[in-house]
């Protein structure tokens, strides 16, 4: 049995399908099973990961755990991890971030700090572990969807900011291989998982425009306005500012590195952003 947290998210939904396709038993955790829309073959279970007292039954009989901070945040992730140890889970695959570098730089921004803290907890747990350190998610651009539909405009503080956007299906495929591994080949590995090419914000917007058949332009806004737009209950405004500044630091710099982890781990090449944009064209139309 493999337990998947965040099972209805972009990565989790793909992962559940991939694991079932490979013949695994899957327990998919979600806040509302009635709205999950997951395959009937999955055991879809209601879960509140902020309720530490209710975690034990969710992990009973499980051999492996996919742990995603998006499902409840840092404290909940550590509580789930502790419950996994108590339940006798053998293996955990953590959906981490490329922002983690195992260096003092990990304390310089919100995303790195949060994921590095959970990575440390996983290492200390005694479980067999694999980290999937994803680069910027292609799905992050879904945050532009309403503006693109309404006006064909993306508002961003740094149109020249660079990333290597990764398809959620590639992150799920790498995680699935590690979760299903019984040889130990992926134990203790921290895979940096990227897409196949570096793109600026403006280039990603243009690719979406090609997918939907109309021009999409980028309008530059202030860092403060950009931070205000992404701040929320789980993202304090100062943390949002840190992220915006981090993105800005890539402007005019050498292109970020492209990893071959997808192909090395799964046997297939990483999916390009253009493919992602075509698959998600309806979201922007």
pLDDT tens-place string over residues 179-188: 999 999 999 9
CA–CA gap between residue 63 and residue 87 (Å, rounded) = 9
pLDDT band for position 55 (cuts 50, 70, 90): very high
Domain ranges of the chain: 2-138+167-194+255-271
Closest by CA to 27, choosing from 60, 70, 75, is 60
Q: What percent of the chain has pLDDT over 90?
A: 83
* pLDDT score, position 235: 80
Q: Tokens representing 137?
A: 């998610």
Average pLDDT score over residue span 41-67:
92
pLDDT tens per residue, range 236-273 = 888 888 889 989 999 999 999 999 999 999 999 999 99
Cβ partners under 8 Å of residue 213, min gap 6: none
| Residue 137 DSSP symbol | B
* pLDDT score, position 238: 85
Closest by CA to 250, choosing from 167, 171, 157, is 157
CA–CA gap between residue 72 and residue 166 (Å, rounded) = 22
* pLDDT score, position 106: 84
Arithmetic mean of pLDDT over the chain: 94
Q: What is the CA angle 89-94-99, rounded to 5?
A: 160
Closest by CA to 98, choosing from 77, 125, 116, 121, is 116
CA–CA gap between residue 90 and residue 101 (Å, rounded) = 26
CA–CA gap between residue 33 and residue 124 (Å, rounded) = 32
For β-strands 91-97 and 199-200, DSSP reports them as unpaired
Q: Kindly report which listed range (2-11, 64-73, 138-147, 180-189) carries the lowest average pLDDT score.
A: 64-73
CA–CA gap between residue 174 and residue 153 (Å, rounded) = 33
Decide if 119 contacts 131 (C-beta within 8 A).
yes
pTM of the prediction?
0.94
The larger pLDDT score, comparing residue 72 to residue 157, is at 157
For residue 51, pLDDT over 90 is answered with no
pLDDT band for position 109 (cuts 50, 70, 90): confident
pLDDT band for position 105 (cuts 50, 70, 90): confident
Domain 2-138+167-194+255-271 has CATH 3.40.50.720: yes
pLDDT tens per residue, range 201-238 = 999 999 999 999 999 999 999 999 999 988 887 788 88
* pLDDT score, position 230: 86
* pLDDT score, position 70: 84
Residue spans of beta strands (DSSP E) within the chain: 2-4, 26-30, 43-46, 64-68, 91-97, 128-134, 153-156, 162-163, 189-193, 199-200, 217-220
Cβ partners under 8 Å of residue 155, min gap 6: 147, 218, 219, 220, 221, 225, 226, 229
Radius of gyration of the chain (CA): 19
* pLDDT score, position 63: 96
For residue 5, pLDDT over 80 is answered with yes
């Amino acid at each position: 049995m493999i337990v998947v947290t965040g099972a209805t998210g972009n990565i989790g939904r793909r992962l559940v399908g991939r694991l079932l396709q490979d013949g695994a038993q899957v327990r998919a955790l979600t806040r509302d099973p009635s709205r999950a829309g997951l395959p009937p073959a999955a055991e879809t279970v209601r879960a509140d990961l902020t309720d530490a007292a209710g975690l034990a039954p969710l992990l009973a009989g499980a051999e492996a755990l996919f742990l995603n901070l998006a499902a409840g945040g840092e404290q909940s992730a550590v509580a789930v991890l502790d419950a996994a140890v108590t339940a006798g889970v053998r293996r955990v695959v953590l959906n981490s971030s490329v922002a983690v570098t195992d260096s003092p730089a990990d304390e310089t921004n919100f995303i790195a700090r949060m994921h590095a803290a959970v990575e440390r907890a996983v290492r200390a747990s005694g479980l067999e572990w694999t980290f999937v350190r994803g680069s910027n998610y292609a799905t992050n651009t879904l945050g532009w969807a309403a503006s693109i539909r309404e006006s064909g405009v993306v508002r961003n503080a740094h149109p020249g900011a660079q990333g290597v956007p990764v398809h959620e299906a590639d992150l799920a495929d790498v995680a699935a291989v590690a979760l299903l591994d019984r040889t130990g080949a992926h134990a203790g590995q921290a895979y940096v998982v990227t897409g196949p090419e570096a793109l600026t914000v403006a280039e990603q917007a243009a690719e979406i425009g090609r997918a939907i058949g109309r021009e999409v332009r980028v309008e530059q806004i202030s860092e403060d306005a950009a931070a205000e737009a992404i701040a929320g209950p789980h993202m304090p405004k100062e943390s949002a500012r840190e992220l915006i500044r981090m993105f800005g630091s890539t402007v005019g710099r050498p292109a970020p590195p492209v990893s071959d982890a997808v192909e090395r781990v799964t046997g297939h090449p990483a999916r390009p952003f253009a493919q992602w944009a075509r698959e998600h064209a309806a979201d922007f139309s």
